[in-house]
């Protein structure tokens, strides 16, 4: 194979069949099979496994990955789902998706145009078990025929039916011959200029309401015949959460672990001094002492800042608001928290829940707990039910037990991309 190739990995879908609410995951960003690891021994995500298979080929000069155009599942999330050795690979670029799979592929093909590969392999990012052998066979067949797909024979008798309606059950329209029916897989290989032109024509046709289900159909209508080679049984596609489990049928599927959720932990400790306000989560509590600090000393707001920043991988409060900078002297810690949350939110994250523990001998936190929860919830723009605060003493031990300090711990769970 002396031709130049590009790989186009489709990962712009919404994963709508992968659950809902807190259980919804972006399938391409999930870990799926403990036997699939990178060269550092770390587990691969679905997308990471698929991309790694194509990156192993020197003939593949460029790899473009389609990503959702909105929300937190875009370029940065896709990049984080790749193995570390590929995250800065110059061959890998990203293209925004669109409303349909075909339109997303067309966007990616237009992105590839400046690289002008001779052939392109178009692959579902949700097929992580694609083998090097299959990729190689598709490349060879594409060079020979210009258009090729791998496919598997059907094992059940296929029927063509009328579209079902609420008023009646569907009826069989046509009895198909199983020997003449195959089920398409990816990667599908095409001569690049021709598939790009075919997609241009399909875009105009799709505006009338017609939807193409794969690229072979686009080629078949606008460019010519498509060759079929044998696919592989293991080259299956992940559609539902249970597909992430690689066990045999009948076993309980393992829960999906998703790159779309992260936990952050924050801690802060301040000495107490006379003449300072005692602040917790923006609420001033009457007391003879208050937190000593460069800012207003709100220990709970500081701990929560670090928890959010840590979960999102955006640094820590000391980096963003260094105590050496006079700009932050006496600063309102709740305003710092709002700035932190804006950065985390802009990066595509949303808060699932927060739990906090405040340790001090005096004053008692319980009488002010609901006010503190409401204050923090307002600053973060979340429901109070997503956030809880507990007060503990230190049983007379150490500076905390002597009433000379106050400490706060905060833990948060963030989710990326889900509305």
Q: Are 399 and 393 in contact (CB under 8 A)?
A: no
Residue 208: pLDDT band by 50, 70, 90 thresholds? Answer: low
Residue 139: is its pLDDT beyond 90? yes
CA 96/CA 70 separation, integer angstroms: 9
Q: Which of the four pLDDT bands, split at 50, 70 and 90, describes residue 324? A: confident
Report the percent of the chain where pLDDT is more than 90: 55
Please compute the mean of the pLDDT values over residues 162-167 and round it to a whole number. Answer: 70
Query: What percent of the chain has pLDDT above 70?
Result: 89
Q: Which of 258, 287, 318 is the last residue of a domain?
A: 258
Asked if residue 251 and residue 145 are part of one domain, the reply reads yes
Average pLDDT estimate for 43-51: 92
Say how many domains are in the chain: 2
Q: The CATH number of the domain where 325 resides is what?
A: 3.30.1330.50
Q: Is it true that the peptide bond before 12 is cis, omega within 30 degrees of 0?
A: no
Segment 97-136, tens digit of pLDDT: 988 899 999 999 999 999 999 999 999 999 999 999 999 9
pLDDT of 396: 80
Are both 253 and 346 inside the same structural domain? no
The answer to whether the beta carbons of residues 286 and 293 sit under 8 Å apart is no
**CB-based contact 10:27 (threshold 8 Å):** no
Averaged over 219-228, what is the pLDDT?
96
State residue 379 phi and psi, 5-degree precision: -65, -30
- Tell me: do 108 and 93 sit in the same domain: yes
Report the relative pairing of strands 147-153 and 279-280 from DSSP bridges: unpaired
- What is the per-residue pLDDT for 335? 93
Cβ 73 vs Cβ 348: under 8 Å: yes
230 CB-side CA count, 13 A? 4
Q: Are residues 97 and 230 in the same domain?
A: yes
Confidence of residue 343 (pLDDT cuts 50, 70, 90): confident
* Claim to verify: residue 66 and residue 90 sit in the same structural domain: yes
Most confident option among 206-210, 219-223, 318-322: 219-223
Containing structural domain, residue 296: 261-416
Q: What is the mean pLDDT of the chain?
A: 87
How does residue 292 score in pLDDT terms, banded at 50, 70 and 90?
confident
3 state SS of 265: strand
225 vs 71: which has the higher pLDDT: 225
* pLDDT value of position 419: 39
Residue 280 near residue 288 (C-beta atoms within 8 A): no
Angstrom distance (rounded) from CA 187 to CA 231 = 10
| CATH code of the domain covering residue 179 | 3.90.550.10
Please report the pLDDT score of residue 71 as a whole number: 61
The whole-number pLDDT of residue 209 equals: 66
214/327 same-domain check: no
The residue from 215, 235, 258 where one domain ends is 258
Q: Are residues 147 and 70 in the same domain?
A: yes
Only one residue has tokens 């991988």, namely: 313
| In a shared domain, residues 398 and 307 | yes
- Are residues 91 and 9 both part of a single domain? yes
> End of a domain among 202, 225, 258?
258
The 10s digit of each residue's pLDDT in 228-238 is: 999 999 999 99
- pLDDT at 418 (0 to 100): 43
User: Do residues 359 and 392 make contact, with C-beta atoms less than 8 angstroms apart?
Assistant: yes
Over 80: is that where the pLDDT of 270 sits?
A: yes
Q: Are residues 225 and 80 in the same domain?
A: yes
CB atoms within 10 A of CB 173: 11
Q: Are residues 400 and 329 in the same domain?
A: yes
164 and 306 share a domain? no
């Amino acid at each position: 194979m002396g031709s130049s190739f590009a790989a186009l990995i489709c990962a712009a879908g919404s994963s709508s069949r992968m659950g809902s609410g807190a259980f919804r995951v972006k399938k391409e960003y999930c870990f799926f099979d403990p036997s699939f690891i990178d060269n550092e021994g770390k587990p691969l995500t679905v997308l990471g496994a698929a991309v790694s298979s194509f990156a192993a080929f020197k003939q593949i000069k460029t790899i473009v990955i389609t990503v959702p155009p909105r929300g937190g599942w875009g370029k940065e999330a896709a990049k984080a789902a790749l193995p570390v050795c590929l995250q800065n690979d110059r061959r890998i670029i990203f293209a925004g998706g669109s409303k349909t799979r075909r339109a997303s592929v067309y966007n990616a093909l237009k992105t590839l145009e400046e690289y002008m590969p001779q052939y392109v392999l178009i692959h579902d990012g949700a097929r992580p078990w694609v083998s090097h052998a299959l990729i190689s066979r598709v490349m060879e067949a594409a060079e020979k025929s210009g258009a090729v797909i791998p496919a598997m024979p059907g094992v059940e008798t296929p029927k063509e039916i009328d579209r079902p309606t609420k008023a009646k059950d569907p009826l069989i329209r046509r009895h198909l011959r199983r020997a003449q029916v195959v089920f398409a897989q990816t990667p599908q290989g095409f001569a690049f200029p021709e598939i790009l032109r075919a997609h241009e024509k399909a875009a105009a046709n799709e505006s009338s309401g017609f939807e193409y289900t794969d690229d072979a159909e686009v080629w078949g209508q606008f460019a010519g015949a498509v060759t079929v080679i044998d696919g592989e049984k293991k080259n299956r596609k992940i559609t539902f959460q249970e597909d992430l489990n690689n066990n045999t049928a009948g076993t309980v599927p393992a829960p999906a672990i998703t790159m779309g959720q992260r936990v952050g932990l924050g801690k802060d400790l301040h000495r107490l001094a006379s003449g300072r306000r005692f602040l917790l989560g923006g609420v001033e509590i009457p007391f003879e002492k208050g937190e000593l600090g460069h800012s207003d000393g709100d220990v709970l707001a500081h701990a929560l800042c670090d928890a959010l920043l840590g979960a999102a991988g955006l640094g820590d409060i000391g980096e963003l608001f260094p105590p050496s900078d006079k700009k932050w002297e006496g600063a309102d810690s709740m305003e710092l928290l709002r700035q932190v949350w804006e950065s985390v939110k802009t990066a595509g994250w949303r808060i699932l829940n927060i739990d906090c523990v405040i340790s001090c001998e005096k004053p008692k936190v319980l009488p002010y707990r609901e006010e503190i929860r409401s204050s923090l919830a307002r600053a973060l723009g979340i429901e109070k039910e997503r956030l809880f605060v507990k007060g503990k003493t230190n049983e007379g031990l150490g500076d905390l037990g002597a009433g000379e300090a106050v400490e706060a711990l905060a833990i948060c769970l963030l989710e990326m991309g889900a509305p």
